[in-house]
Structure 1
Amino acid sequence: MDRLQAMIVFVRVLEAGSFSGAARVLGVGQPAVSKTVAQLEQRLNVKLLLRSTHGLTPTEAGLRFYERARLAIQEADEAELAARGAGGGLSGRLRISAAPTFARLHVIPHLPQFLEAHPGLDVDVVLDDRMIDLIAEGIDISLRLGKLADTGAVARKLASSRCSVLATAEYLTQKGRPQVPADLADHETIVYTQLDNVWKFRREGTEVSVMIHGRARFSAAEGIRAAVLADMGLTIASDWMFAPELANNRVLRLLESWSLPDTDLWAVFPTGRLATAKARLFAKFVESVMKESH
């Protein structure tokens, strides 16, 4: 039995909470995962997991082994990284999660460059606007936008984007252009349900809050984009969300003398786990891409 591989399997089982979850993360069959854990327990001559109809529970020995094993895996990653120099020759699987719209516009177009630099590396990209459980899904790094709900998260800010009130030129031709925040009450507003429906504007030390009651509400950013581009109304969004349309003036910024809070891009790593060398390198890659293109 490959000792390091057995450690990786066991760590993934514990973090996923099931053999099937670990199998999905590792890209292998569930029987192979179960067999590896059973062989590991036989070799160590100790029970690592208690199996029941309610799931898997680590024994005291299993918890001790988990803590040592994940550190050993991290050390092995670091050793390979140091030997290969500057992250060259990374291999294995990297699981990334990101918001679909942001990933489609700013990450996926650059993935060929990252993969070309690391031909031994495979990537799984999980696209979801919602906050997902990184450990349960076996995610190595999550790219998240805005404020972090989990203040205890292991995270690093990669970039920031200006936020503005945005609308298409066609919509403004039909409905007119708001001159002050209060004018937004006379416009169709497109609401992103995962954000606060109070828009706070600042100018020269003055803050104005506007309560938004949009008729069109969307739970995903891609819906916001589609609605704005269909000339349905105006919205508040980061420049990232409408980068192509801002560049060709199809979408315009409004109330530019007023400022809104910036949107931050974060690299978030699973709490309780050391960030892998692959995840840290990908975070640096995304950071460099955002600096170069914006």
Structure 2
Amino acid sequence: MIRVDAHHHVWDLAVRDQPWITGPALAPLRRDFGLPELAPQAAAQGVTATVVVQTVSDEQETVELLTLAGPVAAVVGWTDLTAPDVAERLAALGERPGGSHLRGLRHQAQDEPDPRWLCREDVRRGLRAVADAGLVYELLVTPAQLPAAVETVTAVPECRFVLDHLAKPTVAAGGWEPWASDLARLAALPNVDCKLSGLVTGADWDRWSVRDLRPYADHALGLFGPERILFGSDWPVCTLAADYERVVRTAETLTEALSENERAGVFGGNAVRVYGLNL
């Protein structure tokens, strides 16, 4: 069975800083994380292919990610969506060595001070260029930015969107509304899929249990249906709360009520479809 980890990262601090890694809580992430460390852990869980996702707003990082081999089957990179020549930038990335692995774009919209950044006309113009290039766009947003995501996904129906980490609900605080209602509005749109990822780091890192995560996972599964949910580990960020094996086992437990075919989709088939993987 094809098993795909649809969301992980790698970085080498000697090559590029990760400025988002700040403060004592994130200190365990302030070291290098690479494929030689990830690959055996993924293989031990039956993962046969992965999707590596950008971490910084630097196009050179995307160029480097395109050269990765091993289990990496697709890259979700970065370029400036607001640049007047965004279409040309995307075309140039596709012509780079490994450019055929570029299957999506992402921007850290969660860090933008404007909660309606996604609604800017220059951003939406960039999203149309992403769609024209045959790429997906990944939504990295917080619950407060979900309304803007709904508006933009509606306004750019030609683009395929993927929501990262269920929009980061505040699991540790028991946060529910308006996240739950806004997620329902997003899921009602046919051109968006959702990653079952990042929940463990939204929970209490030291004391979380599957019971804490289940309401959020069940809500997403009920809204999107198992045919639009993709498993992602969010390694190495997940290691703040759980090792790779525990993340996979937790996702398996959260999807245990699904049929065998539905679980096969969540853990592989849906990623193959969304990213057009040749596996």
Q: Which has the higher strand share?
A: 1
TM class by shorter chain equals under 0.3
TM-score normalized with structure 1 length: 0.23
Higher relative contact order (CA 8 A, sep 6+): 1
TM-score normalized with structure 2 length: 0.24
